[in-house]
């Protein structure tokens, strides 16, 4: 089994924390993980993308081949489309609905939604509202992971454990909020 995910978003949105949580869950399940990230220039509000590969055997390349990704998981709609050539024809695209506008010429968001909906398997998640419902706007990441979780090759238990481990050290209150966000995402 191999499962390849392209994580997309804008510098500062927390793309890498999504990667960390999924990677940790995969490791709890005893799977192999490789994750490649972009640094430097792209951190200052530019588009960022991370390649995450999960397998039950060795993984040779850090980069996912084009047409090889099983999923695109995006923090915002325009970035979800930017890396479409990586996605398998039957691959799934999950994106937060809310656009991240830090440029003057951001396209009509309805046009983006319409295009996304033409894909065989796509989901646009109202992540902000759900994060707010969970109790913290910052848990958008967790809502998205929840929304993607039924397709991810990791067990529910491992995912919960990973979220717990990530936040327990920081602040126990965050554990509950993020677990709730994860659950709301799953149901979305």
Q: CA-based Rg of the chain, rounded to a whole angstrom?
A: 16
| 114 or 168: CB nearest other proteins | 114
CA distance 57 to 37: 21
CA distance 67 to 168: 37
Alpha carbon separation from 135 to 12, 19, 35, 113 (Å, rounded):
21, 22, 30, 27
| Closest CB 116 distance from other proteins, rounded Å | 9
CA distance 174 to 41: 31
Q: Is the separation of the CB atoms in 181 and 131 below 8 Å?
A: yes
From 15, 21, 22, 34, residue interacting with other proteins (rule: CB under 8 A): 34
From 5, 13, 21, 91, residue interacting with other proteins (rule: CB under 8 A): 91
Site string for other proteins, 47-86 (x = CB under 8 A): x-----------xxxxxxxxxx---------xx-xx-xxx
**9 backbone dihedrals φ, ψ, rounded to 5°:** 175, -155
Task: Tell whether residue 46 is a contact of other proteins (CB under 8 A).
Answer: yes
Mention every residue, 6+ apart, whose C-beta is less than 8 A from residue 145: 18, 21, 22, 73, 152, 159, 163, 182, 185
Helices (H), 149-187: 156-168, 172-187
| Closest CB 137 distance from other proteins, rounded Å | 18
| Closest CB 180 distance from other proteins, rounded Å | 26
| Closest CB 87 distance from other proteins, rounded Å | 4
| Closest CB 163 distance from other proteins, rounded Å | 17
Site string for other proteins, 109-148 (x = CB under 8 A): --xx-xx--xxx----------------------------
Site of interaction with other proteins (CB under 8 A): 10-11, 23, 27, 32-47, 59-68, 78-79, 81-82, 84-89, 91, 93, 102-103, 105-107, 111-112, 114-115, 118-120
């Amino acid at each position: 089994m191999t499962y390849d995910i392209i994580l997309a978003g804008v510098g500062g949105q927390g793309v890498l924390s999504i990667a960390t949580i999924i990677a940790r869950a995969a490791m709890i399940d005893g799977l192999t993980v490789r994750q490649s990230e972009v640094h430097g220039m792209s951190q200052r509000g530019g588009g960022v993308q991370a390649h995450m590969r999960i397998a039950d055997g060795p993984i040779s390349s850090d980069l996912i081949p084009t047409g090889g990704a099983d999923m695109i998981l995006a923090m915002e709609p325009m970035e979800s489309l930017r890396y479409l050539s990586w996605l398998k024809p039957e691959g799934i695209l999950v994106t937060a609905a809310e656009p991240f506008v830090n440029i003057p010429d951001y396209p009509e968001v309805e046009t983006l939604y319409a295009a996304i909906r033409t894909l065989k398997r796509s989901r646009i998640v109202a992540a902000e509202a759900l994060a707010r419902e969970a109790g913290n706007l910052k848990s958008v990441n967790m809502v998205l992971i929840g929304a993607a979780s039924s397709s991810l090759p990791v067990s529910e238990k491992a995912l919960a454990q990973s979220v717990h481990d990530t936040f327990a050290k920081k602040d126990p209150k965050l554990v509950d909020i993020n677990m709730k966000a994860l659950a709301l995402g799953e149901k979305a």
